[in-house]
Amino acid sequence: MCTYLTQKIELDGAAKGAAGWFTLSDGAVYVDHPYHATHEHTLNIDFTNPGEGPSARVAVELTEEAALALVEAIQKALAAAPPGLASGAHARAAS
Amino acid sequence: MNDAIWAGTISVAGHENAELEAYLARPLGEEPRGGVVVIHHMPGYDEASKEIVRKFAAHGYAAVCPNLYSREGAGVSPDDQAAAARAKGGIPDEQLVGDVAGAAAHLNGLDHANGKIGVIGFCSGGRQTFLAACSLQIDAAVDCYGAFVVNQPPAESGMKVTSLLSKAPDLSSPLLGLFGADDSFPGPEEVAVLAAELEKLGKEHEFHTYPDAGHAFFAVDRPSYRPAAAVDGWKKIFDFYGRHLSA
Protein backbone atom coordinates (compact mmCIF):
# COMPACT_ATOMS: atom_id res chain seq x y z
CA MET A 1 0.00 0.00 0.00
CA CYS A 2 1.01 3.60 -0.51
CA THR A 3 0.45 5.45 2.75
CA TYR A 4 0.79 8.91 1.19
CA LEU A 5 1.45 10.17 4.74
CA THR A 6 4.51 12.34 5.11
CA GLN A 7 5.82 13.90 8.32
CA LYS A 8 7.71 17.05 7.42
CA ILE A 9 10.21 18.72 9.74
CA GLU A 10 12.55 21.68 9.68
CA LEU A 11 16.15 20.63 10.17
CA ASP A 12 19.25 22.52 11.18
CA GLY A 13 22.57 20.86 10.38
CA ALA A 14 24.43 19.45 7.42
CA ALA A 15 24.47 16.29 5.35
CA LYS A 16 26.77 14.77 2.76
CA GLY A 17 25.06 13.92 -0.50
CA ALA A 18 26.13 12.82 -3.96
CA ALA A 19 27.70 16.23 -4.64
CA GLY A 20 29.31 16.71 -1.22
CA TRP A 21 28.26 18.51 1.93
CA PHE A 22 25.27 20.82 2.05
CA THR A 23 23.34 22.67 4.75
CA LEU A 24 20.12 20.97 5.80
CA SER A 25 16.88 22.89 6.01
CA ASP A 26 14.15 20.27 5.68
CA GLY A 27 13.33 16.65 6.31
CA ALA A 28 10.57 14.25 5.36
CA VAL A 29 9.76 11.01 7.16
CA TYR A 30 7.30 8.48 5.78
CA VAL A 31 6.48 4.78 5.66
CA ASP A 32 6.02 3.73 2.06
CA HIS A 33 7.53 1.70 -0.73
CA PRO A 34 11.29 2.14 -0.85
CA TYR A 35 13.12 3.14 -4.00
CA HIS A 36 16.11 0.90 -3.49
CA ALA A 37 15.73 -1.35 -0.41
CA THR A 38 14.36 -4.78 -1.25
CA HIS A 39 11.51 -4.64 1.26
CA GLU A 40 7.86 -4.07 0.53
CA HIS A 41 7.71 -1.06 2.84
CA THR A 42 10.32 0.91 4.73
CA LEU A 43 10.62 3.94 6.95
CA ASN A 44 12.05 6.51 4.61
CA ILE A 45 13.87 9.68 5.60
CA ASP A 46 14.83 12.45 3.19
CA PHE A 47 17.34 14.99 4.49
CA THR A 48 17.05 17.91 2.09
CA ASN A 49 17.62 21.54 1.26
CA PRO A 50 15.04 22.53 -1.37
CA GLY A 51 16.81 25.86 -1.76
CA GLU A 52 19.76 24.04 -3.29
CA GLY A 53 17.57 21.95 -5.58
CA PRO A 54 16.21 18.39 -5.51
CA SER A 55 19.68 16.83 -5.70
CA ALA A 56 20.57 18.28 -2.28
CA ARG A 57 19.18 15.16 -0.66
CA VAL A 58 20.35 12.29 1.45
CA ALA A 59 17.88 9.42 1.37
CA VAL A 60 17.63 6.61 3.91
CA GLU A 61 15.32 3.58 3.74
CA LEU A 62 15.11 1.54 6.96
CA THR A 63 13.12 -1.40 8.22
CA GLU A 64 10.79 -0.66 11.10
CA GLU A 65 13.18 -2.39 13.52
CA ALA A 66 16.16 -0.43 12.23
CA ALA A 67 14.25 2.85 12.40
CA LEU A 68 13.21 2.24 16.01
CA ALA A 69 16.77 1.24 16.91
CA LEU A 70 17.97 4.48 15.32
CA VAL A 71 15.49 6.54 17.35
CA GLU A 72 16.65 4.81 20.52
CA ALA A 73 20.31 5.32 19.66
CA ILE A 74 19.71 9.02 18.98
CA GLN A 75 17.95 9.42 22.31
CA LYS A 76 20.70 7.54 24.18
CA ALA A 77 23.43 9.60 22.52
CA LEU A 78 21.68 12.85 23.42
CA ALA A 79 21.01 11.67 26.96
CA ALA A 80 24.66 10.76 27.42
CA ALA A 81 25.83 14.26 26.47
CA PRO A 82 25.42 17.36 28.64
CA PRO A 83 21.96 18.87 27.99
CA GLY A 84 22.04 21.49 25.28
CA LEU A 85 25.54 20.63 24.09
CA ALA A 86 24.38 20.08 20.50
CA SER A 87 21.57 22.64 20.67
CA GLY A 88 21.18 24.98 17.71
CA ALA A 89 20.39 27.81 20.14
CA HIS A 90 23.62 27.03 22.00
CA ALA A 91 25.63 27.04 18.77
CA ARG A 92 24.19 30.37 17.69
CA ALA A 93 24.80 31.93 21.12
CA ALA A 94 28.41 30.77 21.06
CA SER A 95 29.16 32.02 17.56
CA MET B 1 6.62 -10.53 -38.89
CA ASN B 2 8.76 -7.59 -37.81
CA ASP B 3 8.86 -7.45 -34.01
CA ALA B 4 11.74 -4.97 -33.74
CA ILE B 5 11.18 -1.88 -31.63
CA TRP B 6 12.80 1.51 -31.08
CA ALA B 7 13.03 2.83 -27.53
CA GLY B 8 14.62 5.90 -26.01
CA THR B 9 14.28 9.26 -24.32
CA ILE B 10 12.42 12.05 -26.08
CA SER B 11 10.78 15.36 -25.15
CA VAL B 12 7.06 15.99 -25.20
CA ALA B 13 5.14 19.21 -24.59
CA GLY B 14 3.13 18.90 -21.38
CA HIS B 15 0.77 21.15 -19.47
CA GLU B 16 1.21 24.82 -20.43
CA ASN B 17 3.71 23.69 -23.04
CA ALA B 18 6.31 22.64 -20.45
CA GLU B 19 9.06 20.49 -21.90
CA LEU B 20 8.88 17.04 -20.33
CA GLU B 21 11.39 14.24 -20.48
CA ALA B 22 9.62 11.10 -21.68
CA TYR B 23 10.45 7.53 -22.59
CA LEU B 24 9.04 6.32 -25.90
CA ALA B 25 8.98 2.82 -27.36
CA ARG B 26 7.39 1.96 -30.69
CA PRO B 27 7.41 -0.90 -33.18
CA LEU B 28 9.53 -0.46 -36.29
CA GLY B 29 6.90 -2.16 -38.47
CA GLU B 30 4.57 -0.32 -40.82
CA GLU B 31 1.23 -1.49 -39.41
CA PRO B 32 -1.27 1.06 -38.06
CA ARG B 33 -1.28 0.99 -34.28
CA GLY B 34 -2.78 2.48 -31.18
CA GLY B 35 -0.89 4.52 -28.62
CA VAL B 36 -0.58 3.98 -24.88
CA VAL B 37 0.31 6.64 -22.31
CA VAL B 38 1.93 5.02 -19.27
CA ILE B 39 1.59 6.98 -16.02
CA HIS B 40 4.37 6.09 -13.60
CA HIS B 41 3.83 5.35 -9.92
CA MET B 42 4.56 7.74 -7.05
CA PRO B 43 8.22 6.68 -6.67
CA GLY B 44 8.71 8.24 -10.07
CA TYR B 45 10.01 7.72 -13.56
CA ASP B 46 12.08 4.62 -12.92
CA GLU B 47 13.50 1.60 -14.70
CA ALA B 48 10.36 -0.44 -14.05
CA SER B 49 8.20 2.22 -15.74
CA LYS B 50 10.44 2.17 -18.81
CA GLU B 51 10.25 -1.61 -18.93
CA ILE B 52 6.45 -1.35 -19.06
CA VAL B 53 6.72 1.06 -21.99
CA ARG B 54 8.90 -1.41 -23.90
CA LYS B 55 6.44 -4.20 -23.12
CA PHE B 56 3.67 -2.31 -24.88
CA ALA B 57 5.89 -1.70 -27.91
CA ALA B 58 6.77 -5.39 -28.05
CA HIS B 59 3.01 -6.04 -28.19
CA GLY B 60 2.55 -3.69 -31.15
CA TYR B 61 1.69 -0.34 -29.54
CA ALA B 62 3.50 2.97 -29.53
CA ALA B 63 3.88 3.80 -25.84
CA VAL B 64 5.22 6.76 -23.95
CA CYS B 65 5.79 7.49 -20.27
CA PRO B 66 6.18 11.21 -19.54
CA ASN B 67 8.30 12.04 -16.51
CA LEU B 68 5.65 13.81 -14.44
CA TYR B 69 8.38 15.16 -12.18
CA SER B 70 10.41 16.72 -15.03
CA ARG B 71 9.73 20.16 -13.56
CA GLU B 72 11.95 19.30 -10.59
CA GLY B 73 14.89 19.91 -12.88
CA ALA B 74 16.83 18.43 -15.77
CA GLY B 75 19.76 16.26 -14.81
CA VAL B 76 18.25 15.47 -11.41
CA SER B 77 17.99 11.75 -10.69
CA PRO B 78 14.41 10.41 -10.81
CA ASP B 79 14.38 9.39 -7.14
CA ASP B 80 15.41 12.90 -6.07
CA GLN B 81 12.76 14.36 -8.38
CA ALA B 82 10.18 12.05 -6.79
CA ALA B 83 11.20 13.04 -3.26
CA ALA B 84 11.00 16.72 -4.15
CA ALA B 85 7.56 16.27 -5.73
CA ARG B 86 6.36 14.31 -2.71
CA ALA B 87 7.54 17.03 -0.32
CA LYS B 88 5.40 19.49 -2.28
CA GLY B 89 2.32 17.28 -1.88
CA GLY B 90 2.53 15.62 -5.30
CA ILE B 91 1.54 17.17 -8.60
CA PRO B 92 -1.64 19.15 -9.25
CA ASP B 93 -4.42 17.28 -11.06
CA GLU B 94 -4.71 20.00 -13.71
CA GLN B 95 -1.03 19.63 -14.56
CA LEU B 96 -1.37 15.85 -14.82
CA VAL B 97 -4.22 16.17 -17.29
CA GLY B 98 -2.18 18.58 -19.43
CA ASP B 99 0.84 16.29 -19.36
CA VAL B 100 -1.20 13.24 -20.41
CA ALA B 101 -2.85 15.27 -23.17
CA GLY B 102 0.58 16.28 -24.46
CA ALA B 103 1.86 12.70 -24.37
CA ALA B 104 -1.26 11.48 -26.21
CA ALA B 105 -0.88 14.19 -28.85
CA HIS B 106 2.72 13.13 -29.39
CA LEU B 107 1.65 9.52 -29.93
CA ASN B 108 -1.06 10.56 -32.37
CA GLY B 109 1.53 12.54 -34.32
CA LEU B 110 3.76 9.53 -34.92
CA ASP B 111 3.81 7.68 -38.23
CA HIS B 112 1.34 4.77 -38.34
CA ALA B 113 -0.75 6.09 -35.44
CA ASN B 114 -4.35 4.94 -35.78
CA GLY B 115 -5.67 7.75 -33.57
CA LYS B 116 -6.67 5.48 -30.68
CA ILE B 117 -5.22 6.23 -27.25
CA GLY B 118 -5.10 4.10 -24.15
CA VAL B 119 -3.94 5.26 -20.74
CA ILE B 120 -2.59 3.02 -17.98
CA GLY B 121 -1.26 3.88 -14.55
CA PHE B 122 -0.04 2.17 -11.44
CA CYS B 123 -0.47 3.17 -7.79
CA SER B 124 -0.94 6.99 -7.78
CA GLY B 125 -0.91 6.65 -11.57
CA GLY B 126 -4.03 4.48 -11.31
CA ARG B 127 -5.93 7.38 -9.81
CA GLN B 128 -4.41 9.71 -12.40
CA THR B 129 -5.53 7.37 -15.17
CA PHE B 130 -9.11 7.70 -13.96
CA LEU B 131 -8.63 11.47 -13.79
CA ALA B 132 -7.28 11.58 -17.36
CA ALA B 133 -10.11 9.39 -18.64
CA CYS B 134 -12.66 11.73 -17.03
CA SER B 135 -10.94 14.85 -18.37
CA LEU B 136 -9.79 13.89 -21.88
CA GLN B 137 -11.28 11.98 -24.80
CA ILE B 138 -9.49 8.65 -24.75
CA ASP B 139 -10.34 5.16 -25.93
CA ALA B 140 -9.40 2.75 -23.14
CA ALA B 141 -8.21 3.27 -19.56
CA VAL B 142 -6.52 0.81 -17.20
CA ASP B 143 -6.41 1.64 -13.49
CA CYS B 144 -3.96 -0.58 -11.61
CA TYR B 145 -4.69 -0.26 -7.89
CA GLY B 146 -5.19 3.49 -7.80
CA ALA B 147 -6.28 4.81 -4.40
CA PHE B 148 -8.32 7.91 -3.58
CA VAL B 149 -10.55 7.65 -6.64
CA VAL B 150 -13.45 7.26 -4.21
CA ASN B 151 -12.12 8.05 -0.74
CA GLN B 152 -10.49 11.27 0.34
CA PRO B 153 -6.90 10.83 1.51
CA PRO B 154 -6.29 11.32 5.23
CA ALA B 155 -6.35 15.03 6.06
CA GLU B 156 -2.84 14.88 7.51
CA SER B 157 -1.35 13.45 4.29
CA GLY B 158 -0.56 16.86 2.87
CA MET B 159 -1.11 15.49 -0.63
CA LYS B 160 -2.83 17.54 -3.33
CA VAL B 161 -5.23 14.68 -3.94
CA THR B 162 -9.00 14.58 -3.68
CA SER B 163 -11.70 12.04 -4.47
CA LEU B 164 -12.59 11.83 -8.16
CA LEU B 165 -15.97 10.16 -7.78
CA SER B 166 -17.87 13.30 -8.81
CA LYS B 167 -16.06 13.19 -12.16
CA ALA B 168 -17.30 9.67 -12.97
CA PRO B 169 -20.16 10.93 -15.22
CA ASP B 170 -17.45 12.34 -17.51
CA LEU B 171 -15.58 9.04 -17.95
CA SER B 172 -14.88 9.00 -21.68
CA SER B 173 -13.76 5.41 -22.19
CA PRO B 174 -14.17 1.83 -21.04
CA LEU B 175 -12.25 1.24 -17.80
CA LEU B 176 -10.34 -1.89 -16.81
CA GLY B 177 -9.57 -1.99 -13.10
CA LEU B 178 -7.06 -4.43 -11.61
CA PHE B 179 -6.86 -4.64 -7.83
CA GLY B 180 -5.44 -6.76 -5.02
CA ALA B 181 -7.83 -8.20 -2.44
CA ASP B 182 -5.30 -7.53 0.34
CA ASP B 183 -4.73 -3.88 -0.62
CA SER B 184 -5.85 -1.11 1.75
CA PHE B 185 -5.24 1.80 -0.67
CA PRO B 186 -7.58 1.11 -2.41
CA GLY B 187 -9.34 -1.36 -0.17
CA PRO B 188 -11.99 -3.70 -1.58
CA GLU B 189 -14.78 -1.48 -0.22
CA GLU B 190 -13.44 1.53 -2.17
CA VAL B 191 -13.29 -0.57 -5.33
CA ALA B 192 -16.86 -1.76 -4.72
CA VAL B 193 -18.13 1.82 -4.37
CA LEU B 194 -16.49 2.79 -7.67
CA ALA B 195 -17.91 -0.26 -9.44
CA ALA B 196 -21.41 0.54 -8.14
CA GLU B 197 -21.15 4.17 -9.26
CA LEU B 198 -20.02 3.20 -12.78
CA GLU B 199 -22.80 0.62 -12.93
CA LYS B 200 -25.34 3.25 -11.95
CA LEU B 201 -24.00 5.64 -14.59
CA GLY B 202 -23.98 2.94 -17.28
CA LYS B 203 -20.21 3.37 -17.80
CA GLU B 204 -18.48 0.40 -19.38
CA HIS B 205 -16.05 -1.13 -16.91
CA GLU B 206 -14.43 -4.42 -16.04
CA PHE B 207 -12.94 -4.87 -12.56
CA HIS B 208 -10.85 -7.79 -11.32
CA THR B 209 -9.70 -8.20 -7.74
CA TYR B 210 -7.04 -10.84 -7.24
CA PRO B 211 -6.86 -12.98 -4.09
CA ASP B 212 -3.52 -13.25 -2.31
CA ALA B 213 -2.38 -9.99 -3.86
CA GLY B 214 -1.94 -6.57 -2.32
CA HIS B 215 -0.77 -3.25 -3.66
CA ALA B 216 1.80 -3.23 -6.49
CA PHE B 217 1.40 -6.87 -7.45
CA PHE B 218 2.71 -6.06 -10.96
CA ALA B 219 6.05 -4.78 -9.59
CA VAL B 220 8.55 -7.48 -10.51
CA ASP B 221 11.35 -5.80 -8.53
CA ARG B 222 9.46 -5.69 -5.23
CA PRO B 223 8.33 -8.30 -2.69
CA SER B 224 4.74 -7.28 -3.48
CA TYR B 225 5.02 -9.07 -6.86
CA ARG B 226 2.40 -11.80 -7.25
CA PRO B 227 3.10 -13.81 -10.42
CA ALA B 228 -0.38 -15.32 -10.75
CA ALA B 229 -2.12 -11.95 -10.49
CA ALA B 230 0.42 -10.16 -12.68
CA VAL B 231 0.42 -12.76 -15.45
CA ASP B 232 -3.38 -12.79 -15.61
CA GLY B 233 -3.47 -9.01 -15.29
CA TRP B 234 -1.22 -8.50 -18.31
CA LYS B 235 -3.38 -10.92 -20.31
CA LYS B 236 -6.44 -8.87 -19.43
CA ILE B 237 -4.70 -5.61 -20.31
CA PHE B 238 -3.67 -6.80 -23.77
CA ASP B 239 -7.07 -8.31 -24.40
CA PHE B 240 -8.73 -5.02 -23.36
CA TYR B 241 -6.45 -2.85 -25.49
CA GLY B 242 -6.79 -5.32 -28.36
CA ARG B 243 -10.54 -4.73 -28.34
CA HIS B 244 -10.48 -0.96 -27.84
CA LEU B 245 -7.35 0.37 -29.53
CA SER B 246 -7.64 -1.40 -32.88
CA ALA B 247 -8.29 0.81 -35.88
Instruction: Report yes or no: B99 at the A interface, CB cutoff 8 Å.
Output: no
pLDDT score for A1: 56
Strands (E), A35-77: 42-48, 57-62
How many C-beta atoms lie closer than 10 Å to residue A77's C-beta? 10
- Sort residue B58 into left (φ over 0), alpha (ψ -120 to 50) or beta: alpha
3-state helix, strand, coil in chain A (%, to 5): 30, 40, 35
Output the tens digit of pLDDT for each of chain B's 247 residues.
688 999 999 999 999 999 999 999 999 999 999 999 999 998 899 999 999 999 999 999 999 999 999 999 999 999 999 999 999 989 999 999 999 999 999 999 999 999 999 999 999 999 999 999 999 999 999 999 999 999 998 877 778 889 999 999 999 999 999 999 999 999 999 999 999 999 999 999 999 999 999 999 999 988 899 999 999 999 999 999 999 999 7
Q: How far apart are CA B32 and CA B247, in angstroms?
A: 7
pLDDT score for B170: 98
Instruction: Report yes or no: B49 at the A interface, CB cutoff 8 Å.
Output: no
Packing angle of the helix pair B124-135, B93-108 (nearest 10 deg) = 70
pLDDT score for A95: 47
Rg (CA), chain A: 15
The interface predicted TM-score (ipTM) is 0.73
Domain ranges of chain B: 5-244
Rg (CA), chain B: 17
Check if B183 is active-site. yes
- Sort residue B212 into left (φ over 0), alpha (ψ -120 to 50) or beta: left
CATH class belonging to B5-244: alpha beta
Taking an 8 Å cut-off on Cβ atoms, the answer to whether B73 and A55 are in contact is yes
Interface of B with A in 9-38 (CB under 8 A): none
How many C-beta atoms lie closer than 10 Å to residue B47's C-beta? 9
